[in-house]
Amino acid sequence: MIVDVVCESCGKIIKSMIKLRSLKDIMSPLSNKCPFCGKKLSTSDFTLEVEEKTDVLVQL
Protein backbone atom coordinates (compact mmCIF):
# COMPACT_ATOMS: atom_id res chain seq x y z
CA MET A 1 0.00 0.00 0.00
CA ILE A 2 1.33 3.43 -0.91
CA VAL A 3 0.32 6.42 1.21
CA ASP A 4 0.47 9.95 -0.22
CA VAL A 5 0.29 13.03 2.00
CA VAL A 6 -1.18 15.77 -0.19
CA CYS A 7 -1.47 19.50 0.53
CA GLU A 8 -5.13 20.50 0.48
CA SER A 9 -4.24 24.00 -0.70
CA CYS A 10 -2.03 23.34 -3.74
CA GLY A 11 -2.67 19.62 -4.33
CA LYS A 12 1.03 18.69 -4.44
CA ILE A 13 2.27 15.45 -2.87
CA ILE A 14 4.23 16.37 0.26
CA LYS A 15 5.32 12.83 1.07
CA SER A 16 4.82 9.45 -0.56
CA MET A 17 5.52 6.42 1.60
CA ILE A 18 5.00 2.68 1.72
CA LYS A 19 4.55 2.42 5.48
CA LEU A 20 2.04 4.63 7.31
CA ARG A 21 3.77 7.04 9.69
CA SER A 22 2.60 9.67 12.13
CA LEU A 23 1.70 13.01 10.52
CA LYS A 24 3.75 14.76 13.22
CA ASP A 25 6.84 12.80 12.13
CA ILE A 26 6.30 13.84 8.52
CA MET A 27 5.50 17.51 9.12
CA SER A 28 8.04 18.38 11.83
CA PRO A 29 11.04 18.55 9.46
CA LEU A 30 8.94 20.78 7.19
CA SER A 31 8.14 23.25 10.03
CA ASN A 32 4.48 22.21 9.62
CA LYS A 33 4.29 24.02 6.26
CA CYS A 34 3.78 22.79 2.73
CA PRO A 35 7.17 22.99 0.98
CA PHE A 36 5.46 24.02 -2.27
CA CYS A 37 2.92 26.71 -1.31
CA GLY A 38 3.93 27.52 2.29
CA LYS A 39 0.48 26.89 3.77
CA LYS A 40 0.53 25.95 7.46
CA LEU A 41 -0.42 22.30 7.92
CA SER A 42 -2.29 20.90 10.91
CA THR A 43 -2.13 17.36 12.29
CA SER A 44 -5.70 17.69 13.59
CA ASP A 45 -7.27 18.93 10.33
CA PHE A 46 -6.89 16.22 7.70
CA THR A 47 -8.88 13.71 5.69
CA LEU A 48 -8.07 10.16 4.73
CA GLU A 49 -9.04 8.85 1.33
CA VAL A 50 -8.62 5.22 0.36
CA GLU A 51 -8.58 4.04 -3.23
CA GLU A 52 -8.62 0.39 -4.18
CA LYS A 53 -6.08 -0.38 -6.84
CA THR A 54 -6.21 -3.55 -8.84
CA ASP A 55 -3.20 -5.11 -10.48
CA VAL A 56 -3.65 -6.06 -14.08
CA LEU A 57 -1.61 -8.97 -15.34
CA VAL A 58 -1.14 -9.15 -19.07
CA GLN A 59 0.20 -12.39 -20.49
CA LEU A 60 1.71 -12.37 -23.97
Task: Tell me what pLDDT residue 55 has.
Answer: 64
Task: Tell me what pLDDT residue 56 has.
Answer: 62
* pLDDT tier, 39 (very low <50, low <70, confident <90, very high otherwise): very high
Q: Is 55 helix (H, G, I), strand (E, B) or coil?
A: coil
pLDDT tens by residue, 4-37: 888 989 999 998 888 888 888 888 899 999 999 9
* pLDDT tier, 2 (very low <50, low <70, confident <90, very high otherwise): confident
Please give the Cα distance from 42 to 23 (Å, whole number). 9
- Please tell me the pTM assigned to this model: 0.70
